Amino acid sequence: MFHYPNGKKFIPFSEQNTKKTKTNFGNRGMTLEEDINVTNQFYLQTGKAVIHKKPTPIQIVNVDYPKRSAAVITEAYFKLASTTDYNGVYRGKYIDFEAKETRNKTSFPLNNFHSHQIEHMKNVVNQGGICFVILKFVHIDTIFILGVDHLFIFWDDHLQDGRKSIPLSYVKQHGEVVPIKYQPRIDYLSVIDKIYFG
């Protein structure tokens, strides 16, 4: 059995008591993370890029050995991730990004990020890597790429008792909309081409 850092028990999606909901063609019932994973697989298979989701480290607490040949983890806890969600290589450059979604209609709350993630992203930028965030606003079913320089402005301001979120209007003005297609599903590298290689 796995637990989140807050102690809440992890329930696999297949075991969750979910109601069938009507999904539109825009999201096909997939989460942002699932869409990005499918996209990354497409990029890998077509030789466009090598980008992977970083595994979430777990701490194993209890293991049972029902047979000599098999061990069963009966209790484990998710550790807090130390960096961002995704990293890899594209066009000879190191690429690193975080993907988040919100149901908030007017802004993106900064509490979706952690200070160690911001520090990691600043280190990536300082080393010349490409670093950004993918933000999905669920209510308008729109995904944006926002350069971390914009995120840093709001993050540093919120540490000085400033605004605790990034306004959607700001994201629309300074971010780039990511096209949703069949293949690749979320073509974020076409936006990276425009921003960093254009």
- Structural domain of 35: 2-196
Between strands 176-177 and 142-147, the pairing is: antiparallel
More confident residue, 71 or 23: 71
Q: Does residue 19 surpass a pLDDT of 70?
A: no
Q: What is the pLDDT of residues 145-158, one digit of tens each?
A: 999 999 999 999 99
What is the domain count for the chain? Answer: 1
Name, of 32-41, 54-63, 79-88, the range with top average pLDDT: 32-41
Give the Cα-Cα-Cα angle 99, 20, 54 (nearest 5 degrees): 25
Half-sphere exposure for 187 (CA within 13 Å, toward CB):
11
What's the pLDDT at 173?
97
- CATH code, domain carrying 47: 3.40.1350.10
> What residues contact 27, with CB distance under 8 A and at least 6 apart?
35, 141
User: What SS3 state is found at 59?
Assistant: strand
Q: Sorting pLDDT into bands at 50, 70 and 90, what band is 60?
A: confident
Encoding tokens for residue 150? 């914009």
Q: What is the pTM of this model?
A: 0.76
Q: Sorting pLDDT into bands at 50, 70 and 90, what band is 14?
A: low
Q: Does residue 178 surpass a pLDDT of 60?
A: yes
Burial environment of residue 133 by CB neighbours within 10 A (0 to 12, 13 to 18, 19 or more): buried
Q: What is the pLDDT of residues 117-130, one digit of tens each?
A: 999 999 999 999 99
